[in-house]
């Protein structure tokens, strides 16, 4: 078995245990896995979404991996930076914790340390920095600003929320891609297990539609996983700044983009996938302008929790006439509020 890219096809969540032996062998054979190891598993729990919305790592995938690691007598630490237990309830991670008698490790409760990467200092999760083995289980999705999100972008959640909020002020595509790649470089995952069984297409990362791809992709190289999946979804890798930056900074096990392409293209079968348009320069400015003017809060659904206002790096959300409102003049479409609203009341009115 080639540990660099192991793709299991034609999967469904309700029959996922059919691939147990295959996934078990992959994990067991990895050089870092051994009895007693403390393993941090970073999920993508972007908000309180139900599994069928395809915004978060599916609980069946999490359950499979936990089951395998426990049978290998490892110490399992499921983790993510979350805003309250409702996320664990909605995403159906809570029953897994109960079933296996596990605790959930909310990154913000385990401290941060200053770590430098590519000339900048990041407040990085202590728990992830100090675990023996680091596994991530991201979800493959479209993203209205970075075009897609996968293994590289998922680790942006390893830095302190306050810093994430401040850095989100930087919506220049190049600069933000560099930040995402710097954070990824601090602790590259030992194993990536990408949940691309049902991915998200359209207005990701939270407002898109589920798209069945049927794939679980295991790898020791997150850049390679992302590259394979963006080709599968029909993106042009040369247009994706995050991916290009990661390759340029040698965050892949491969020396060049050509090597990555040569390696993974034989496995690629392009799928019909609703991608968001990729614009450059003035066109991108216009695209963002249209989107930010279309952001609105549905007052019938808003429960006045104030999370969007707290999260907004641009102070674009205010309470007016007893209603939370988004000021499009100040909004920079960082998508933080979309990701955090617990009831999905923030939408795009296109």
If binding is defined by CB under 6 A, does position 348 make contact with ligand SF4? no
If binding is defined by CB under 6 A, does position 145 make contact with ligand SF4? no
Q: How far is the CB of 221 from ligand SF4 (least distance, A)?
A: 32
CA–CA separation, 154 vs 42, rounded Å?
Answer: 8
Applying CB under 6 A, the span of 15-23, 108-116, 218-226, 303-311 interacting with ligand SF4 comes to 303-311
CA–CA separation, 66 vs 45, rounded Å?
Answer: 16
**Side-chain half-sphere CA neighbours of 203 within 13 A:** 13
128 closest CA partner among 113, 138, 139, 118: 113
Give me the residue label for tokens 């996938």.
273
∠ Cα 65 192 277 (to 5°): 120
Output the DSSP codes for 41-73. Answer: EEE---SS--GGGSSS--HHHHHHHHHHHHHTT
Binding to ligand SF4 (CB under 6 A): which residues in 240-299? Answer: 295, 297
Q: How far is the CB of 208 from ligand SF4 (least distance, A)?
A: 16
Q: How far is the CB of 18 from ligand SF4 (least distance, A)?
A: 39
If binding is defined by CB under 6 A, does position 46 make contact with ligand SF4? no
**What counts of helices (H) and strands (E) characterise the chain?**
14, 15
57 closest CA partner among 25, 24, 88, 85: 88
Contact flags string 159-178 toward ligand SF4, x per CB under 6 A: --------------------
**Side-chain half-sphere CA neighbours of 233 within 13 A:** 34
Give me the residue label for tokens 């340029």.
248
Write the CB contacts of 109 (distance below 8 Å, at least 6 apart in sequence). none
If binding is defined by CB under 6 A, does position 346 make contact with ligand SF4? yes
Sole binder of ligand SF4 in the list 108, 288, 326, 350 (CB under 6 A):
326
Sole binder of ligand SF4 in the list 314, 321, 325, 350 (CB under 6 A):
314
Applying CB under 6 A, the span of 105-113, 141-149, 269-277, 333-341 interacting with ligand SF4 comes to 333-341
Q: Which is nearer to ligand SF4, 56 or 219 (CB)?
A: 56
- Please tell me the count of residues contacting ligand SF4 according to CB under 6 A: 28
Residues at the interface with ligand SF4 (CB under 6 A): 295, 297, 302-308, 311-312, 314, 316-317, 324, 326, 331-337, 341-343, 345-346
């Amino acid at each position: 078995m080639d540990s660099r890219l192991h793709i299991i096809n034609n999967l469904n969540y309700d029959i996922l245990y059919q691939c147990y032996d295959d996934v078990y062998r992959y994990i067991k054979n990895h050089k870092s896995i051994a009895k007693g190891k403390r393993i941090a598993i970073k999920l993508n729990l972007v908000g309180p979404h139900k599994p069928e919305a395809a915004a978060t790592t599916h609980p069946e995938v999490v359950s499979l991996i936990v089951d395998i690691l426990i049978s290998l007598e490892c110490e399992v630490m499921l983790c993510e930076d979350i805003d309250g237990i409702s996320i664990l309830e909605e995403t159906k991670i809570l029953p897994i914790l109960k079933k296996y008698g596990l605790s959930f490790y909310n990154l913000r409760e385990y401290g941060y340390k200053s770590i430098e990467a590519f000339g900048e200092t990041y407040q990085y999760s202590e728990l992830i920095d100090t675990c023996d083995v680091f596994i991530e289980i991201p979800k493959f999705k479209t993203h209205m600003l970075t075009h897609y999100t996968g293994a590289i972008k998922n680790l942006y959640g390893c830095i302190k929320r306050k810093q994430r909020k401040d850095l989100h002020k930087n919506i220049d595509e190049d600069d933000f891609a560099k930040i995402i790649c710097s954070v990824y470089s601090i602790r590259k995952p030992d194993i990536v297990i990408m949940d691309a069984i049902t991915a998200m297409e359209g207005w990701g990362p939270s407002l898109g539609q589920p798209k069945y791809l049927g794939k679980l992709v295991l790898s020791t190289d997150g850049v390679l996983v992302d590259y394979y999946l963006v080709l599968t979804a029909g993106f042009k890798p040369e247009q994706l700044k995050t991916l290009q930056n990661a390759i340029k900074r040698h965050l892949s096990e491969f020396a060049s983009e050509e090597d990555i392409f040569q390696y993974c293209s034989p496995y690629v079968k392009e799928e019909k996938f609703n991608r968001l348009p990729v614009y450059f320069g003035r066109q991108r400015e216009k695209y963002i302008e249209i989107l930010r003017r279309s952001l609105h809060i549905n007052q019938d659904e808003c429960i006045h929790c104030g999370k969007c206002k707290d999260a907004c790096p641009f102070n674009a959300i205010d309470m007016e006439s007893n209603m939370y409102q988004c000021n499009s003049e100040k909004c920079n479409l960082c998508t933080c509020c979309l990701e955090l609203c617990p009831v999905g009341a923030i939408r795009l009115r296109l």
